[in-house]
């Protein structure tokens, strides 16, 4: 399946904020407002979907699976909306993957941005339609903290996000002092990944990424509230599925969100243990996932990883002009 690149998204366009998993809780209302303000500061006209309503919800979700799918499908069919930003993460997306209007995605592709539980939706759409989705900040946990960043860092992240959405290529993503070389080397390949536990679960469903999507890929992943032993097991699931034999490089998210199992090794040692003698570059402790702000990583887009420099450069546009 070929990539389905959405049209470019530029300042002045309408973008939607949607509750695609968890709802708007009282303790997130302030950062949701700040996140919407951040989108407006980028020049976008922001529209909020109906389920983005304080106190509204169903169990641990913004609504029932049918309600969330209906909200999403309405946005997918709305020709005025040019991108969809996830409000927050949660525990819901698997419940409505089979209710998403894939024909609407193909008819009017638009970027879907977020991380955490949103990974399952992003990867499923990528698997079924080839849509280039973007693993990036949530409106709450991510964009909602942009106003607290140093000006230089905020400007760099804003430029990187706008470059992904308007199709600037190639361009290097902003580095930081946290990046660690876990195995040196370089690799060029399409980006694939997200929240590790969602990726592994998705591979057991009809929405799994075909094995060939991992051929020559740069696999990026992160996890949260997980132990090194659970990460070790999830990586072995990917190994047993043959996925690690196909990839050309690996990017690992923040080490601070993973808890070391008593008496066990740190995350770096766990990753290198599972990789064994696979001589691929590995870059660790990168800003992807649950220690925002996030670098924007478009799924399916070719990138160049140099874990020794270290650097990460997007080699082709994520959208069409």
* 27 domain residue, yes or no: yes
Range of the domain at 206: 171-314
Co-location of 158 and 136 in the same domain: yes
pTM for the whole structure: 0.97
| 222 catalytic residue (yes or no) | yes
Of the three residues 148, 166, 184, the one that is the final residue of a domain is 166
Four-point Cα dihedral 190, 80, 45, 320, nearest 10: 30
CA–CA separation, 140 and 41 (whole Å): 15
* 106 domain residue, yes or no: yes
- Kindly state the tokens that stand for 9: 């998204």
Co-location of 65 and 90 in the same domain: yes
Of the three residues 110, 140, 166, the one that is the final residue of a domain is 166
CA–CA separation, 61 and 91 (whole Å): 7
Q: Which of 61, 116, 136, 307 is catalytic?
A: 116
* 157 domain residue, yes or no: yes
Co-location of 91 and 211 in the same domain: no
Residues 6 or more apart whose CB falls under 8 angstroms from that of 125 comprise 100, 102, 105, 112, 131, 133
* 123 domain residue, yes or no: yes
Q: Which of 28, 67, 222, 287 is catalytic?
A: 222
Number of domains in the chain: 2
Of the three residues 166, 194, 217, the one that is the final residue of a domain is 166
Co-location of 18 and 162 in the same domain: yes
* 2 domain residue, yes or no: no
CATH classification of the domain holding 118 = 3.40.50.10740
DSSP 23: -
* 7 domain residue, yes or no: no
Q: Give CA separation, 43 vs 15, 140, 187, in Å.
A: 10, 18, 35
Q: Which of 272, 270, 57, 55 has its CA nearest to residue 185?
A: 272
* 1 domain residue, yes or no: no
CATH classification of the domain holding 272 = 3.50.30.60
pLDDT in tens, the chain (321 residues): 799 999 999 999 999 999 999 999 999 999 999 999 999 999 999 999 999 999 889 999 999 999 999 999 999 999 999 999 999 999 999 999 999 999 999 999 999 999 999 999 999 999 999 999 999 999 999 999 999 999 999 999 999 999 999 999 999 999 999 999 999 999 999 999 999 999 999 999 999 999 999 999 999 999 999 999 999 999 999 999 999 999 999 999 999 999 999 888 999 999 999 999 999 999 999 999 998 999 999 999 999 999 999 999 999 999 998
* 84 domain residue, yes or no: yes
Co-location of 175 and 306 in the same domain: yes
Co-location of 154 and 175 in the same domain: no
In sequence order, which ranges of 9-142 are alpha helices (DSSP H)?
A: 29-41, 65-77, 102-107, 118-129
Co-location of 200 and 99 in the same domain: no
Q: What angle do CA 167, 123, 244 make, to 5 degrees?
A: 100
CA–CA separation, 221 and 224 (whole Å): 11
Co-location of 178 and 293 in the same domain: yes
CA–CA separation, 62 and 66 (whole Å): 11
| 311 catalytic residue (yes or no) | no
| 290 catalytic residue (yes or no) | yes
Q: Which of 241, 232, 239, 298 has its CA nearest to residue 265?
A: 232
Question: How far is C-alpha 289 from the chain's CA centre?
Answer: 7
Q: In the prediction, which pLDDT does 55 show?
A: 86
Co-location of 144 and 251 in the same domain: no
Q: Which of 126, 135, 141, 290 is catalytic?
A: 290
Co-location of 31 and 80 in the same domain: yes
CA–CA separation, 194 and 297 (whole Å): 9
CA–CA separation, 51 and 73 (whole Å): 13
Co-location of 154 and 291 in the same domain: no
Q: Give CA separation, 37 vs 40, 41, 81, 143, 145, in Å.
A: 5, 6, 18, 9, 11
Q: Which of 127, 176, 158 has its CA nearest to residue 296?
A: 158
Q: In the prediction, which pLDDT does 263 show?
A: 82
- Kindly state the tokens that stand for 52: 């983005």
Q: Which of 121, 125, 117, 160 has its CA nearest to residue 294?
A: 160
Strand 112-114 to 81-86 pairing: parallel
Co-location of 259 and 287 in the same domain: yes
Cis peptide upstream of residue 310 (ω within 30 degrees of 0): yes
| Residues 260 and 229: beta-carbon distance below 8 Å | no
**pLDDT digits 0-9 by tens, 262-315:** 888 999 999 999 999 999 999 999 999 998 999 999 999 999 999 999 999 999
CA–CA separation, 191 and 249 (whole Å): 9
């Amino acid at each position: 399946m070929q990539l389905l690149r959405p049209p470019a998204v530029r300042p002045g366009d309408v973008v939607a904020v949607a509750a695609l998993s968890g709802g708007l809780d009282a303790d997130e209302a302030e950062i949701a407002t700040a996140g919407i303000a951040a989108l407006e500061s980028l020049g976008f006209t922001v529209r909020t979907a109906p389920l983005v309503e304080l106190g509204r919800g169903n169990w641990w979700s913004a609504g029932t699976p049918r309600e969330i799918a209906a909200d999403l499908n309405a946005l997918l069919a709305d020709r005025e909306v040019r991108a969809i930003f996830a409000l927050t993460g949660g525990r819901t997306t698997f419940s409505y993957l089979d209710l998403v209007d894939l024909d609407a995605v193909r008819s009017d592709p638009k970027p879907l941005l977020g991380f955490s539980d949103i990974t399952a939706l992003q990867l499923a759409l990528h698997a079924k339609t080839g849509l280039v989705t973007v693993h990036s900040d949530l409106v709450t946990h991510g964009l909602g903290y942009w106003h607290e960043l140093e000006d230089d860092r905020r400007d760099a992240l804003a430029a990187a996000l706008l470059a992904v959405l308007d199709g600037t290529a190639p361009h290097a993503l902003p580095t930081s002092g946290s990046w660690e070389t876990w195995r040196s080397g370089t690799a060029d390949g399409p980006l694939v990944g997200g929240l590790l536990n969602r990726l592994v679960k998705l591979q057991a469903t009809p929405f799994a990424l075909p094995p060939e999507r991992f051929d020559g890929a740069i696999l990026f992943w992160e996890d949260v509230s997980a132990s090194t032993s659970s990460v070790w097991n999830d990586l072995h699931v990917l190994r047993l599925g043959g996925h690690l034999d196909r990839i050309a490089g690996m990017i690992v998210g923040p080490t601070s969100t993973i808890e070391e199992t008593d008496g066990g090794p740190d995350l770096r040692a766990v990753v290198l243990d599972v990789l064994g003698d696979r001589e691929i570059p590995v870059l660790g402790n990168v800003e992807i996932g649950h220690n925002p702000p996030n670098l924007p990583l478009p799924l399916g887009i070719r990138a160049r990883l140099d874990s020794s420099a270290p650097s990460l450069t997007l080699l082709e546009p994520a959208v069409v002009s």
